[in-house]
């Protein structure tokens, strides 16, 4: 999860628990997470609790849903079809992606110019 979403959900820095394993960003740089938080995620009528790792890194996305969410939901994703299917209440439900939004996110990630070290604000609060 990226800081904009964390702030947008009105979550406080005190809500984070430690997460000490470094991650590698899309740009290949090592990112030290701010921490993690467990939140409910709803897909149709199904709600699952998922641990989100909060990182200070650029991304055109607000959050990246990991395998743990897919597994908890019992979901089968298809990147080709921009679709996730999962069982719910005896039926197969779908979450549809948006190809044009996905394309814009990819272009934004490719065109992004990282901040220089002097203009970065690593100590800034969430």
Give the tens place of pLDDT for each residue, 26-54: 778 888 899 999 999 888 788 889 899 99
Long-range contacts of 26-35 (CB under 8 A, 24+ apart): 26/57, 26/59, 26/109, 27/58, 27/114, 29/57, 29/114, 31/55, 31/56, 31/57, 34/3, 34/126
Average pLDDT over residues 84-96: 90
* Ramachandran angles phi, psi of 44, nearest 5°: 60, -120
Q: Model confidence at 19, in pLDDT bands (50, 70, 90)? A: very high
**Model confidence at 64: pLDDT above 50:** yes
pTM, full prediction: 0.68
What residue ranges do the domains of the chain occupy?
A: 3-114
């Amino acid at each position: 999860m990226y800081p904009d979403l964390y702030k947008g959900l009105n979550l406080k820095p005190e809500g984070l628990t430690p997460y000490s394993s470094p991650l590698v960003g899309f740009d290949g740089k090592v990112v030290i997470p701010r921490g993690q938080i467990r939140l409910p995620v709803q897909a149709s009528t199904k709600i699952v609790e998922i641990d989100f790792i909060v990182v200070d890194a650029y991304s055109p996305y607000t959050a990246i849903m990991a395998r743990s969410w897919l597994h908890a939901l019992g979901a089968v994703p298809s990147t080709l079809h921009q679709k996730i299917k999962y069982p719910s209440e005896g039926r197969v439900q779908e979450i549809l992606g948006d190809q044009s939004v996905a394309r814009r996110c990819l272009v934004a990630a490719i065109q992004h110019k990282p901040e220089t070290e002097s203009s970065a604000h690593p100590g800034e609060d969430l």
